[in-house]
Structure formats: C-alpha cells, structure tokens
Amino acid sequence: MGNELACVLRCDGGTFSGKALLETSELLFRGDTRLKIPFASIKTVHAKNGELSVRTSGRLAVFELGPQAEKWRERIVNPKSLIEKLGVKPGDAVRLEGNFPADFLASLAQRGARPTKKQGSARWIFLAAESVQDLRRVSGIAQSMEGAAAIWIVYPKGQKSITESHVRSAGLKSRLTDTKVASFSSTHTALKFVVPKSKR
C-alpha cells in the first residue's frame, strides 16, 4: 500500500467516513462507501485548507485529509516510478529470482541498477512467486542475505492459490521481518522483507 489516512469524503451529494489510500497509480476510499479514482482519470486536483479536491469527468470528490492534503496532491501530480517506490537506487546490486516482465527489467536498467547472480552481494532481491511452491525458495534466499539487504516477493493479486498470508508466513518462517507492501502492477503485489536489525 501507499499512504493510508482515516478521513471524511464528500462526494455525490453525500458525506462518508472511512480511509483514503494513496496507491501507486490510483486513489481509493474504503468505508461508508467505496471509491476508486485512477490517476489517469483525474482532470484536476487541488489542495486547500486541508482538503484534497479531485475532479474527474464524472464527479468531484473532496477528501478531508488535514496537513497531508498538499503532500497527496504532489504525489498525484508527480507520482514516483515503480522502481523509486521499491527503493532501488542507481548503482544498487539487484538479484532476480524467477521471471519478470520486460518493462520491469528495462526500468531497472534505466535506473542504473547492477544485475548480479552472486549470493550475498545483492542490495535488492526480487523473487517472482506465482505459486506457493515458489515460496520454498525464500528460506535459502534469506540465508544468503547480508546486512541491510531486502527481498521483494512479487505475487499475483486476488488469487486463492497464493495470498498475502502465504507470502508473509514464508518470510516470517525464514526469520525475516515484513516492512512494506507495494503495488507492483495491475496484476501483482510486492511484499518487502528484511533481516531484523538484531540479527545483522
């Protein structure tokens, strides 16, 4: 997930309580009503007096976010790339386990990440887990992680065969700590794990 805030939403003539979620490419509201606003559909967005006003071709939605309103507006107008949200910096050593989309590989190269196959040398490890069976690799990967290295486990959204619970369980059983969730694509989610500071 991105940022998440309890707030009030004014939309379609009603006032609703719930949580607003700022994701990689969309703004969500969950509570008395549900709302999904893809960034691509937004015509205008303004922040004033703690309110974020988002207009699409079909409606105006006003989120009462308080001091965070301007920050959310900035993130909607200038969203971070997936690679930035995953934390990869130029020069970082990256190890890939499994098959990843060509556009992701191209983004890593454009970012200046250094691919490596050597265990223990990667700052970032990406594991493509399409099934629970793929999670068997987590234990071995965890043993090779050194210092502040992190592993992102990328898995399908909305599948009963492999869920967030499965992924989190695999990481915790491997004595890792989960620290962040990110929307990897329209079809996949990524969950980040690190070695606990006390074990480094």
Could you tell me the two tokens for 111? 């970012």
What are the start-end ranges of the E strands in the chain?
A: 3-11, 14-22, 26-31, 34-38, 42-48, 51-56, 60-64, 93-97, 114-115, 124-128, 150-156, 177-183, 188-194
CB 76 within 8 A of CB 92: no
Q: What's residue 186's pLDDT?
A: 82
pTM to 2 decimals? 0.71
Query: Cβ contacts of residue 199 below 8 Å, gap of 6+?
Result: 175
37, burial (CB in 10 Å: exposed 0-12, middle 13-18, buried 19+): buried
Residue 30 dihedral angles phi and psi, to the nearest 5°: -130, 125
Of 40-44, 76-80, 148-152, the least confident: 76-80
Model confidence at 1, pLDDT cuts 50, 70, 90, reads: very low
Ranges in the chain annotated CATH 2.30.29.30 = 3-77
Tokens 């890939």 identify what position?
Answer: 96
Closest CA to 127 of 104, 151, 106: 151
Could you tell me the two tokens for 132? 């629970």
Stretch 41-59: mean pLDDT: 96
Architecture of domain 3-77: Roll (2.30)
Q: What is the pLDDT of residues 112-132, one digit of tens each?
A: 999 998 877 899 999 999 999
Question: What is the rounded CA–CA span in Å between residue 81 and residue 95?
Answer: 19
CATH of 82-199, one of 3.30.70.260, 3.40.50.150, 1.10.1380.10, 3.40.50.720: 3.40.50.150
Stretch 173-183: mean pLDDT: 93
